[in-house]
Amino acid sequence: MMPNSSWPTRTAFAGCRGSLATEIRRSRRAAPAFRALARQALALLFVSLSLATFVPLTARPLAAPHRRILSAQDAGADASQASTASARMTYTRTLAGSSPEYLAVSVNADGSGSYVGRHLNEPDHPRALRLSPATTERLFALAAQLRYFKSVDLDSHKKVANLGRKTLTYENGDEKNQVEFNFTQDRAGRDLVDLFEGVANVEEQIDLLEYAIKYDPLSLPQDLLAIQIALNHNELVDPQLMVPSLQEICSNSRFMHVAQTRAQDILNRVSPTQ
């Protein structure tokens, strides 16, 4: 009996049909899982889109605290400036036998201040003064370098001559710091003393001029010559403080011509607009 030639075909077809049926059953079983995954993906997409819309809106209020912090810092800086504006610094030197034996220069942060120069047995008679902004700024900048004299030792602790007992005092509200010394090797300390001594020198020259104007006009030429020499050696700080006295000498014909000439020369140097 001849074998049926269609058998391999039918067998192959049957096998393919079985495989197809198997795949269809597998796909049907897998479909729910795919649908679940699809639903999860859609849910995640929805959440992402929602966050993309929501985050910018919520980010704006979060910036407010940062702005408030900056405002607080600005307020703190303003308060610090206001606090510094009330600061006051005083320099004193006491040395028996010197002229003057006691001097004190006080200056506020705005440049206003006072000067005292006297013998040790005399009472204080402060004279008001106003330093230039540049000098005032320099004085307080040097004080800052010295930590406003808080827990600072400026004395050289060396065997040197008695140059006068010096005291630097810083006051600002409830804060008060003070340091005393005879001689210092600290650079900022020396610069600070030199500035105060330069201011005191100007005030001493004013004392001499005012006395000569009232009681001893013949001594004016010599007093004014000393001022010219001091200017040449940069020994005077804020010499414009002498302007009122110099103007009085220049404008009053009762004073010697040489005195008026020297007073005008000094006036031109310390106040070119005069």
Asked whether residue 156 is assigned to any structural domain, the reply reads yes
The residue that leads in pLDDT, 30 or 271, is 271
Is residue 261 assigned to a domain? Answer: yes
Enumerate residues 6+ apart whose C-beta is below 8 A from 131. 107, 111, 113, 139, 199, 238
Q: Give a yes or no: residue 137 inside a domain.
A: yes
245 falls within a domain: yes
Residue 161 lies in a domain: yes
Q: Identify the H or E element spanning 245.
A: helix 243-251
Question: How many domains are there within the chain?
Answer: 1
Mean pLDDT of the chain: 81
Q: Between these two residues, 38 and 97, which has the higher pLDDT value?
A: 97
- Could you tell me the pLDDT band of residue 64, with boundaries at 50, 70 and 90? very low
Report the C-alpha gap between 43 and 52 in whole angstroms.
14
| Mean pLDDT, range 197-214, rounded to an integer | 97
pLDDT-based confidence at residue 68 (cuts at 50, 70, 90): very low
In a domain, 158, yes or no: yes
Cα–Cα distance for residue pair 12/148, rounded to 1 Å: 105
Side chain identity at 132, as an amino acid letter? S
Residue 75 CB contacts under 8 Å (≥ 6 apart), including other chains: none
265 is a domain residue = yes
> According to the model, what pLDDT value does residue 274 have?
59
Return the higher-pLDDT residue of 65 and 143: 143
| Range of weakest confidence among 14-23, 185-194, 212-221 | 14-23
Boundaries of domain holding 203:
87-270
Residue 133 lies in a domain: yes
